[in-house]
Structure 1
Amino acid sequence: MRTLDFAPLYRSTVGFDRLFSMLDKATQAETSSTWPPYDIERVADDEYRITMAVAGFAEDEIELTQHDTNLLVTGQRKSSEGDSQILHRGIAARTFRQTFNLADHVKVVGANLENGLLTVNLKREVPEALKPRRIPIGGTQSAVGQDNAQPRIEAVRQAA
């Protein structure tokens, strides 16, 4: 078992507390159970998908909650008290709680439960105010557009 001490890094950095806390939790989570199994995939540049194997759970037994940059997925089976007796239980029916740390501006855009797989679709939506913008030099004109936008030649000539 490996343990990492991030204390020296806390002394020499400012503002990275959240990053080191996530690393601490990740190293501790290696020893804990990771049930139910899940996949995380990148669908496009700013789109992601989490797929969890939740066989035996119905839609009303699973709850997804996003609070800030945390996505919490919980599942709790409702007791099915029928007349039958189960002789062997091979399908896990235990309660689960799985937390995913999301990057800034990543939002859940949809979820679907089909054939025992819970699919959670995520998308990064950076607000317009936080996108890069081009700043003109030597003028009193306000900055417009994104960094990748081509400046108009007429606007540059008028500013000069």
Structure 2
Amino acid sequence: MRNFDFSPFYRSTIGFDRLASLLDNITNNESSQPGYPPYNIELTGEDRYRITMAVAGFDATEINIEANQNALQISGNKAADTKERTYLHQGIAARSFERRFQLADHVQVEAAHYENGLLHIDLQRIVPEAMKPRQIPIGVNTKAIEGAVEPTRS
């Protein structure tokens, strides 16, 4: 297991406490995150993302998606099978799951759809206009110029 010390970054950054805490949590919980169900995270545009989860055997009604502030939680609860079966080999997992994702600021869930055993969740980063970079004009302080003494020429 790898341990990283982020304390030098705390000394030289201001306002990034949440980011450093997220990095600490990721490195501490890396081994505790289960591998089921498998998923992909894609960059589909400049500020667009897609999470694709392989949830074969689940019906769309058995999957719950909840977005809360900067967290996305996806859970699946398999309905009890009323028919008793005898398997010679059971390789398809039919167990319940819960997967959590930390979302960056201003990332919103746009849509979700289920197709061919894959759950697709589309996300987009929407930065408010007030947060976007803006050009600051440089003004001239006319009061300082009016009160200035004209240089004398000899």
TM-score between both structures, scaled by the size of structure 2 = 0.78
Question: Take 1:14 and 1:130, find their aligned partners in 2: how far apart are those partners?
Answer: 17
Based on CA coordinates, which of the two structures has the bigger radius of gyration? 2
Instruction: Give 1:104 shift.
Output: 1.1
User: In structure 2, what is the equivalent of residue 122 of structure 1?
Assistant: 123
What are the superposed Cα offsets for residues 67-90 of structure 1, whole Å, 9 maximum, x if unpaired? 111111111111121144444321
Q: Where in structure 1 are there 5+ consecutive unaligned residues? A: 140-160
After TM superposition, list the pairs within 5 Å mapping 1:101-112 onto structure 2: 101-112=102-113
After TM superposition, list the pairs within 5 Å mapping 1:84-99 onto structure 2: 84-99=85-100
| Secondary structure at the counterpart of residue 133 of structure 1 | coil
Segments of 4+ in structure 1 off by > 6 A? none
Question: Take 1:66 and 1:74, find their aligned partners in 2: how far apart are those partners?
Answer: 12
1:66 equivalenced with 2:67 (yes/no):
yes
Instruction: Give 1:25 shift.
Output: 2.0
Q: What percentage of aligned pairs have identical amino acids?
A: 53
After TM superposition, list the pairs within 5 Å mapping 1:1-160 onto structure 2: 1-6=1-6, 9-10=9-10, 13-32=13-32, 33-138=34-139
TM-score between both structures, scaled by the size of structure 1 = 0.76
Cα gap change, 1:136/1:20 in structure 2, threshold over 3 Å: closer, same or farther? closer
AA at the equivalent of 1:3 = N
Question: Take 1:137 and 1:46, find their aligned partners in 2: how far apart are those partners?
Answer: 31
